[in-house]
Structure 1
């Protein structure tokens, strides 16, 4: 007869949720997302997703370049714009990869951290019965001391060598178990936490950071203050308003630069006067690798150039002076630029201005002109400054409301005949202090030269966090690469002349040098030497 034993109704029931297909799908999806393989795939996808940001111009960097791309590719640009090609880092698909990677890393790191803490609190396991089956084995050797004293000395020696040690008494003697190399997993976890810190820093830096560019010309009349309207380009984070910008003003009083014989810049330094929060101006300096730090914003020096000072006197004797930066085009600072005088030739009798009498000048500036007459600079320093310039008269096209470049004349106006060249085929040559008299009696004077610096202003509230993440990531990587998990066991049993010692070792990771380390360790312990 078969006896059926009574059991609780829930004894054979499946765990909660196991019979639910939706719960099983969510559980399996979470396991796949938080696996190390998925994290590596997402990291690779994040790198691939950033590639279009370096191929196509980005609106967050330069809206002018995006507009030029639309003008050059009228059919392609609207199509790729729908895929956020010009806003890669603010696109939904980039944010999705970013958040999935962040979630995956958290899901990978937290269970491993829990297991690592549990492993650190666990004592080393006892010695196996057959030490001779381990990869490293040292057969028995005798010492004259008692087994308890020998085992205690072995444990002390291993602790001195920073092994986690456990001394146990057995029925036939003593065993000493030791393990080392848990810093390898500590380094792995440290590296992953550093990656999380970097991801957090990038996200919050994008939200609460801002950056701007400014071309700063030498002179007290050419300074600027921290306002969006006074920046040449500016990008504010989604959580930053124009009123959140720090209050400071900067004006450059001097700019010094030195060059190698090949024309490569050796050093350049800007001397400025700075006012913060409406206070008095104070002198300061900054160079390429030593930015100017103002109220959480770093001002970096990223470029240099020359700004000719041109004075135009119209046919009625009224003068206007402009300091115009010319943009360098080669290593020797051959620079091109445009100066426009739309408000000249105002008739004093009627007080009216004829738009057909506006003046524009287009030229090439050479810091060091040669004797061959070519419009190419021979050296970037202003050793022999020369200005090749051409004059245009007519409607500059500035009153139509269309945006235009400040470094080139409006080619449409020239093509339509509204802006005509009046200087002939060959440009006029001017040196500092010289004047050029035009056909209507007006003059253009090359009054001097000023230096300008291209500066980048950046505020990143998570900069320190990014630095800490980079340092910790490097430290964790070094620990992970150069630390190895291994275990050793010693069995000490009574012998005729004292104690017999047998040792075994097991590397937990690939460690080619473990055999030499084990041999040296057992030799010192068996001989009783330090």
Structure 2
């Protein structure tokens, strides 16, 4: 073949690399072990932001706090879906690619594994001295007697004319295959949970109740196959919430235990039962679990408008500003106040103490001396009837409000309000009274039918990978001739030759002594 003809043939082959060839190449690349490991690493790496960045489905109050403290960073987080990592587009893409890669990897490996199980060990080499491990001893034995003793050691044995071939360690590949199947089981379980499960978040104040309905949730995230009728019809009332704090030492103020005492009705009309809800003790009703994920304070206020009517009365959940002392920011809105709507910005201090500069701060997260600082009082249009969504932690829009300078206990001194004290607004606009303190908790209710399959798959994966790492494929060959027994052995697992030397010596000992290895 001339150089010109060779070039034409190469050009023809290059031009023939069409769509089918590219698809085959893509499939081989996607289903390779290297790609599967890369995708598994990316899946693990993608889970990191889910632990570092607060998630809307778990910590909505911290997400709101981040928007308030650093709105630019929060917008970037939201742009890359970091507040909802596990339901983001990019996480789902890695998940689906890994799922496809595992399927493409398991199918051919299964076929290879089944062929390997049916394959008999090869015949013994004629010259066993060339093998890595060899031994020889004198004994009046037959090949059948050697085979019988090797079978007692759980070897798969094939015999011939004066020779025996034995192999052991097939469970190594079984573990490898089951590991991949278990990984696929984990992914399937996650997918089942996403389709047929749901999650919901709700904030409940002491004394209030909750019924497991879609309308009762502050945030509800159902799977695509979940309907309103799928929810378990239980309900409960939050009787009280208690937090135990460290009161002495260097860790003073650290929370030690959280307990929400619930009165639970498993079905409508069923008698209520008491249940102490804790962080690691969720409430479970027919597979639906309710977790305690957060807590805070809800001071109770009473707002009287300029006409002497009570425009608002009740607890107001406050957003935590300092976790160490539970100093919290509160917003009170009275849209029904007359002649003008009223709004208040306040700071709640669980254990209020005066500072040397005349200001006040909280010295302890527990309620020892609760007081409320009035940051600002406003009158005007709160914007609550405009149809636009509005955060309960924000007083907006500020341009439509007029700030008032209230009199606290008859003076202009900004002294915090204690329980039972009130502040009068100038011009007879109304009055704000601090009447008590309650606590709120945030709960996450979740139903995940893939939870148990995921646990079983994860346990299987651990056992399977241990089998794959600890079990060695090894072969033993024996030739019997004229009263001499020659034994040779080798391993089919890279890096395990050193460990096989001791086992080979024990095998020779059993063959020569006719004893069963009980190791």
1:132 to 129, 134, 144: 129
1:405 is aligned to: 391
Structure 2 partner of 1:274: 264
Q: Distance in 1 between the 2:41 and 2:324 partners?
A: 38
Task: Give the number of aligned pairs.
Answer: 481
The 8 Å contact of residues 364 and 375 in structure 1, kept in 2 or not, is answered as: no
Q: How do residues 322-341 of structure 1 correspond to structure 2 at under 5 angstroms?
A: 322-329=314-321, 330-341=323-334
- Tell me how far apart the structure 1 counterparts of residues 81 and 393 of structure 2 sit (CA, whole Å): 30
| Superimposed CA distance per residue, residues 306-335 of structure 1 (whole angstroms, 9 cap, x where no aligned partner) | 211222344544334211122222222122
Equivalent pair of 2:354/2:360 in contact (CA under 8 Å): no
Shift of 1:100: 3.5
Please give the alpha-carbon distance, in whole angstroms, between the structure 2 residues aligned to 1:388 and 1:86.
32
Question: 2:366 aligned with 1:381, yes or no?
Answer: yes
Contact 1:134 1:506 (C-alpha < 8 Å) held by counterparts:
yes
| Aligned counterparts, 1:26-65, within 5 A | 26-44=23-41, 46=43
Alpha-carbon distance in 2 for matches of 1:56, 1:377: 27
State the SS of the aligned residue for 2:366: coil
Partner of 1:501: 485
Cα shift readout 1:376-409 (whole Å, capped 9, x = no counterpart) = 3222222232222345141133233332221232
The residue that corresponds to 1:361 in the other structure is: 344
* Aligned 8 A contact 2:378 2:401 in 1: no
Shift in CA distance, 178/423, structure 1 to aligned 2, threshold 3 Å: farther
Preserved CA contact (<8 Å) 2:57 2:201? no
* Counterpart Cα distance in 2 of 1:84 and 1:286: 31
In structure 2, the residue matched to 1:106 is 103
1:120 matched to which residue of 2?
117
Q: Would the alpha carbon gap of residues 29 and 405 (structure 1) be closer, same or farther in structure 2, given more than 3 Å must change? A: closer
Q: Which residue of 1 aligns with 2:141?
A: 147
**For 1:312, what is the secondary structure of its paired residue?**
strand
Is the contact between residue 406 and residue 424 of structure 2 (CA under 8 Å) also seen in structure 1?
no
Range with bigger deviation, 476-485 or 364-373: 364-373
CA contact (8 A) 2:57 2:199 kept: no
Distance, in Å, in 1 between the alignment partners of 2:327 and 2:83 is: 32
Distance apart, 1:505 and its partner CA: 0.9
Per-residue deviation, residues 64-83 of structure 1 (Å, max 9, x unmatched): 869969x9569x979x96x9
Query: Structure 2 CA distance, aligned partners of 1:50 and 1:381?
Result: 35
Residue of structure 1 in register with 2:275 after alignment: 284
User: Residue in 2 aligned with 1:246?
Assistant: 232
Q: Give CA deviations for 1:225-282 in whole Å, capped at 9, x if unaligned.
A: 2233321222222333334333222221122221224222211111112234422333
Structure 2, gaps ≥5 residues long: 1-15
1:308 aligns with 2:299: yes
- Quote the RMSD (CA, aligned, Å): 3.6
2:173 to 185, 194, 213: 185
- CA gap of 1:304–1:128, structure 2 versus 1, over 3 A, is same
Aligned to 2:285: 294
CA distance, structure 2, for counterparts of residue 501 and residue 250 of structure 1: 79
Does the aligned pair in 2 maintain the 1:390–1:421 contact within 8 Å?
no
Taking the aligned partners of 2:120 and 2:273, their CA distance within structure 1 comes to 63
- Matched residue SS, 1:402: coil
Tell me the alpha carbon deviations over residues 392-444 of structure 1, each in whole angstroms, 9 at most, x when there is no partner: 1411332333322212322x42x555343434775332223344455439544
Return the alpha-carbon distance in structure 2 between the equivalents of residues 283 and 60 of structure 1: 27
Contact 2:131 2:490 in 1 (8 A): yes
**Residue 392 of structure 1 contacts residue 423 of structure 1 at CA under 8 Å; is this kept in 2?**
no
| Pair 1:32–1:437, CA change in 2 (3 A) | closer
Is 2:477 the counterpart of 1:486?
Answer: no
Query: 2:504 aligned with 1:518, yes or no?
Result: yes
Structure 1 residue 465, shift from structure 2 partner? 1.6
Equivalents in 1 of 2:331, 2:19: separation in Å?
68
Q: Tell me, in whole angstroms, the C-alpha distance in 1 between the residues paired with 2:444 and 2:170.
A: 45
Query: By how many angstroms is 1:158 displaced?
Result: 3.4
2:312 is equivalent to residue 318 of structure 1: no
Q: Secondary structure at the match of 2:183?
A: helix
Moved over 6 A (4+): 48-67, 83-93
Deviation, structure 1 residue 302? 1.0
Do the aligned residues in 2 keep the contact of 1:57 with 1:66 (CA within 8 Å)? no
Shift in Å, 1:55? 9.3
Q: Secondary structure at the match of 1:399?
A: coil
Kept after mapping to 1: 8 A contact 2:189/2:453: yes
